[in-house]
Amino acid sequence: MKKLVRFAIAGGLGFIVDAGVLAALLHLTPLGPFIGRLIAIALAMATTWAFNRTFTFDRSGRSLAAEGFRYGSVGVTAALVNYGLYSALLLSLPALQPLVAMVLATAASMFLSFIGYSRFVFRGKAEKN
């Protein structure tokens, strides 16, 4: 249960970074909601990795590079699901605000992230099936 709470905190931090960067890019730059979201997702992913590695999960016993690669693999997969849902919502519902689409897509991809990170990234070598 402790891991789930910490994962939720990491997700909250990632969400704040994602939403904040997206809002700033939409307001301050000519980047649209699609390019802006790619940048926001990348920064949010870096934020959650640092938090999850430090506070949520035990060290995996792998090198930092191997763990980073695994985290990136899960993160990119979850981000593709998230971005795909985000894009589909914006394209099918043009009146929908990008931040609302971001919230809905993030909620939908959160479960995939937790399973991937807890089972594939931070699971120690000795814990494998």
One-letter identity of residue 75: G
Query: What was the pLDDT predicted at 15?
Result: 92
Share of the chain above pLDDT 90, in %: 48
Higher-confidence residue of 87 and 3: namely: 87
Using pLDDT thresholds of 50, 70 and 90, give the confidence band for residue 118: confident
Split at pLDDT 50, 70, 90, the class of 57 is confident
Asked whether the predicted pLDDT for residue 6 surpasses 50, the reply is yes
pLDDT over threshold 80, residue 1 = no
Number of independent structural domains in the chain: 1
Average pLDDT, the chain: 86
Tell me what pLDDT residue 40 has.
Answer: 96
Q: Give the C-alpha separation, 32 to 111, whole Å.
A: 28
Parent domain of 55: 2-127
pTM of this prediction?
A: 0.75
Q: Residue 107 corresponds to which tokens in the numbers above?
A: 């909620």
Distance of CA 116 to the CA centre of its chain: 11
CB of 49 within 8 A of CB of 83? no
| Helices and strands in the chain: count of H runs, count of E runs | 4, 0
Contact 79, 37 (CB under 8 A): no
Tokens of 85: 């849902």
What mean pLDDT comes out for the span 80-105?
Answer: 94
